[in-house]
Amino acid sequence: MRAKIYITLKSGILDPQGKAIEHALSVLGFKGVKEARVGKYMELVLAPGPIDQVEKSIKEMCEKLLANTVIETYRYELDPKE
């Protein structure tokens, strides 16, 4: 079972990495970039199990370790077939 987890900064939180990328892209000549936000993308291969229990443990993993829920939000997609 494969879980795809997306962790992004909450809106309103300054994203220095994003700002650095915006600047670098404009220096490289890319003019149409209005904003860049950078986050984390994780893929977890999990042992198969009942979907609700797997989802519960994904939420716990995100809240305990993977995301800093003070400044970040997370969302995930679960692919039971993979």
Cβ(32)–Cβ(56) below 8 Å: no
**C-beta of 13: minimal distance to its own copies in Å?**
13
Q: How far is CA 25 from CA 12, 39, 64, in A?
A: 22, 17, 34
Stretch 47-76 residues interacting with its own copies (CB under 8 A)? 47, 49, 54, 57, 60-61, 64-66
String of contacts with its own copies for each residue 9-38, x by CB under 8 A? ---------x--x--xx--x-xxxxxxxxx
* Whole-angstrom Cα Rg for the chain: 16
Q: Residue 73: phi, psi to the nearest 5? A: -115, 160
Strand partners, 6: 41, 75
Cβ closest to its own copies, residue 34 vs residue 70: 34
Site residues (vs its own copies, CB under 8 A): 6-8, 18, 21, 24-25, 28, 30-47, 49, 54, 57, 60-61, 64-66
